[in-house]
Amino acid sequence: MSIKTTIPVISKEAAHFQVVPGEVPVLNIRNLNVRSKNAQILKNINLVVPKNKITVLLGPSGCGKTTLLKCMNRLTDLYSELKLDGSIEIDGEDILSGKYDITQIRQKMGLVMQRPFPLPMSIYDNIAYGLKIKGIRKKSIISEKVEKHLREVALWDEVKDRLKTSAQRLSIGQQQRLCLARGLAVEPEIILADEPTSALDPISSRVIEEEFLKLKADYTIILVTHILRQAKRLADFVVFMYYGEIVEYGPASEIFENPKTDILKEYLRVGH
Amino acid sequence: MTLRRKLEEKFFRVLTALVALLVVFVLAHILYTIISKGASSLSWEILSQEPKGGFYMGGGGGIVNAIAGSFYLAIGASILAFIVSLPVALFINIYLIRYRRLLIGVRFFLDVLWGIPSIVYGAFAFTIMIFFGLRNSLGAGIVTVGALIAPIMIRAMDEVLKTIPIGLQEASYSLGSTKTETAYKIFFKQALPGFATAVLLAFGRGIGDAASVLFTAGYTDHVPRNLSDPTATLPLSIFFQLGSPIEEVQNRAYAAAIVLTFIVLCISITARVLYRKK
């Protein structure tokens, strides 16, 4: 797995956020700007996300973390007031160019949201839905994958006897794990997680966190959080954002032990 | 509290209670009137037989022509309206949702359609029927009532779809769904109980409407056998019998009113129950 790729240096000021020696990039964001009618939400974002690592987007509420995450699978399309420019490359394809089939690009990314939104169908069908969309029709394959992904999020034993019941009757912690499994079922390369534990109790939160640590062997994870402790527990790399800009980016140890900017120092001090 | 505020508080509490009582009283009085006048005429014969010779002069028979006709018409119109309303309501909430201004415009337009008096729908359909040389018929009535209740159904469905959280939409898209898949596989399922309510509301409106069927569905003493037959309806049956100078016939009009009110009440209550269960 350790193929060393040279990471292209885009521009001098951007280079500051690029250098992650020895990591394989999967997602490459260049000069991304997002504007709404009367505000600039993201300013000149340059970011390379390394493969099979947990990259945490950290920062105070309203700093643009969620917007950045939504840009990555173009959920921003749903909000007509947002105007995007720049490029986001995954596998060498610029997903903002409009040339590619957005549904296929979205299947390269599994999304876990702040609150779980199970589809209005059974537990089984929640997982099978994405598979069917991908064109998998064979029942034996679907059943096998449903089991595999429910096991992957440690939900199988809890629900194996009631796969045909409505997913909306599960507890919120179970729903969140189901939503994670649902996202994994389409076999994405990247998991986008937007404060996935913010609606959960501490025990369910811990379960999700442990899942993430296991899943990074197979997936690249981009996690939005404003919980400093969670970031410290999970992060390999940290992107610290403030008012729509990336202020600092680097390996977790460096960010937490050697913050360079005053804003980050203050954030770490207060947030502790 | 000052005396003024105390008095103000008391005054408005009494006022609101009185107005609420008035509304309940009016409903109770309507029910009392139709039941006291019509209950004596209500019989199995009335409910099960077509009018016989001289029915409108006090002869024998019943109003099954109008009961069956009303059901045929309202069911047909509801199915037709549903076929039109479902795609429109989904289109508004999936595609138009990005275009705020257009969305407001479309909703306003539908509300205007909702507000158009039913006699105007009737007259409009009648001119079209004349143009094509069509006669009064069940089919024409279904189309007219369908057009009358479609805006109601669309807006009722729209209100249900509006409550679907954006998160569910994002979840669907992030799994790689197209807009069509999101509309018919996710939104449709999520909104299904609400849709049932929407259909029943529109059905209730359709079955009780007299003006739109006056010119279009016609009136007959027989239960219609196909779409080109004219058909009787309960509201018109009430109208024609109430116009009679004979008291017995008038009382039968009230009996028909009991039947119609009962149907509409049942539908409203079912719609409420379904909506709550959601």
The tens digit of pLDDT for each residue in B117-176 reads 999 999 999 999 999 888 899 999 999 999 999 999 999 999 999 999 989 999 999 998
Contacts of A158 (CB under 8 A, 6+ apart): A174
How much is the pLDDT for A3? Answer: 44
Q: How far is B150 from chain A (nearest CA, A)?
A: 26
Domain ranges, ordered by start, for chain A? 119-187
How much is the pLDDT for A21? Answer: 67
Q: Is there a contact between B267 and B203 (Cβ–Cβ < 8 Å)? A: yes
Mean pLDDT, chain B, integer: 91
How wide is the angle at C-alpha B162 spanned by C-alphas B160 and B163, nearest 5°?
70
Q: Sorting pLDDT into bands at 50, 70 and 90, what band is A5?
A: very low
How much is the pLDDT for B53? Answer: 78
Residue type at position A241: M
- CA B257 to chain CA centroid, Å, is 15
Q: How far is B87 from chain A (nearest CA, A)?
A: 19
How much is the pLDDT for A146? Answer: 94
Q: How far is B102 from chain A (nearest CA, A)?
A: 13
Residue A208 burial (CB count, 10 A): 20
Q: Which of B99, B170, B176 minimises the CB distance to A103?
A: B176
Tell me which chain A residue has its CA closest to the CA of residue B176.
Answer: A103
- Mutation target to probe the A interface, by most A beta carbons within 10 A, among B99, B169, B174 is B174
Q: In terms of C-beta density within 10 A (0-12 exposed, 13-18 middle, 19 or more buried), how is residue B157 classed?
A: buried
Mean pLDDT of A264-272: 82
List phi, psi (to 5°) of A178: -60, -40
Structure tokens that stand for A236 in this block: 């390999």
Residue A12 above 60 pLDDT? no
Q: Do B167 and A115 lie within an 8 Å CB cutoff?
A: yes
Domain ranges, ordered by start, for chain B? 3-41, 47-277
Which helix (H) or strand (E) element contains residue A47?
strand A40-50
Q: Is there a contact between A149 and A127 (Cβ–Cβ < 8 Å)? A: yes
Nearest to B137 by CA among B232, B205, B50: B232
- Whole-prediction pTM: 0.82
Q: Encode pLDDT of A88-128 as tens digits.
A: 988 888 888 877 888 888 888 888 898 999 999 999 999 99
Pairing outcome for strands A40-50 and A245-251: unpaired
Q: Encode pLDDT of A48-67 as tens digits.
A: 999 999 999 998 888 888 99
Q: Sorting pLDDT into bands at 50, 70 and 90, what band is A8?
A: very low
Q: Encode pLDDT of B141-150 as tens digits.
A: 999 999 999 9
How far apart CA A216 and CA B125 sit, in angstroms, is 65
How much is the pLDDT for A79? Answer: 85
Residue A16 above 80 pLDDT? no
Q: Which of B165, B168, B173 minimises the CB distance to A106?
A: B173
- Mutation target to probe the B interface, by most B beta carbons within 10 A, among A129, A168, A178 is A129
Q: How far is A206 from chain B (nearest CA, A)?
A: 23
How much is the pLDDT for A129? Answer: 94
Four-residue CA torsion sign, B224, B227, B233, B239: negative
How much is the pLDDT for B52? Answer: 85
- DSSP helix/strand/coil, B136: coil
Q: Is there a contact between B51 and B270 (Cβ–Cβ < 8 Å)? A: no
Specify the CATH class of B47-277 in words: mainly alpha
Q: How far is A79 from chain B (nearest CA, A)?
A: 6
- DSSP helix/strand/coil, A109: strand
Residues of B in contact with A113 (CB under 8 A): 167, 170-171
Beta-bridge partners for A83: A35
Q: Sorting pLDDT into bands at 50, 70 and 90, what band is A15?
A: very low
| Window 158-217 of B, Cβ < 8 Å to A | 165-178, 181, 185-186, 189-190, 192
Lowest mean pLDDT among A77-91, A228-242, B25-39: A77-91
How much is the pLDDT for A18? Answer: 54
A to B CB pairs, distance under 8 Å: 69
Pairing outcome for strands A54-58 and A93-94: unpaired
Nearest to B198 by CA among B111, B142, B274: B274
Q: Do B167 and A117 lie within an 8 Å CB cutoff?
A: yes
Q: How far is B160 from chain A (nearest CA, A)?
A: 14
How far apart CA B67 and CA B260 sit, in angstroms, is 8
Q: Is there a contact between A167 and A180 (Cβ–Cβ < 8 Å)? A: no
Exposed e or buried b per residue across A95-108, where buried means at least 16 C-beta atoms within 10 angstroms of its C-beta: bbeeeeebbebbbb
Q: Which of B100, B171, B189 minimises the CB distance to A117?
A: B171
Mean pLDDT, chain A, integer: 86
How much is the pLDDT for A20? Answer: 61
Residues across chain B:
278
How far apart CA B62 and CA B66 sit, in angstroms, is 9
Residue A236 above 90 pLDDT? yes
How far apart CA B257 and CA B210 sit, in angstroms, is 12
Nearest to A44 by CA among A35, A31, A34: A31
Pairing outcome for strands A54-58 and A220-225: parallel
Q: Is there a contact between A72 and A32 (Cβ–Cβ < 8 Å)? A: no
| Window 94-153 of A, Cβ < 8 Å to B | 103-104, 106-107, 109-111, 113-115, 117, 119-121, 129-130, 133-134
Ranges of chain B whose pLDDT falls below 70: 277-278
Q: Do B98 and A78 lie within an 8 Å CB cutoff?
A: yes
How far apart CA B38 and CA A149 sit, in angstroms, is 65
How far apart CA B113 and CA A153 sit, in angstroms, is 51
Residue type at position B159: E
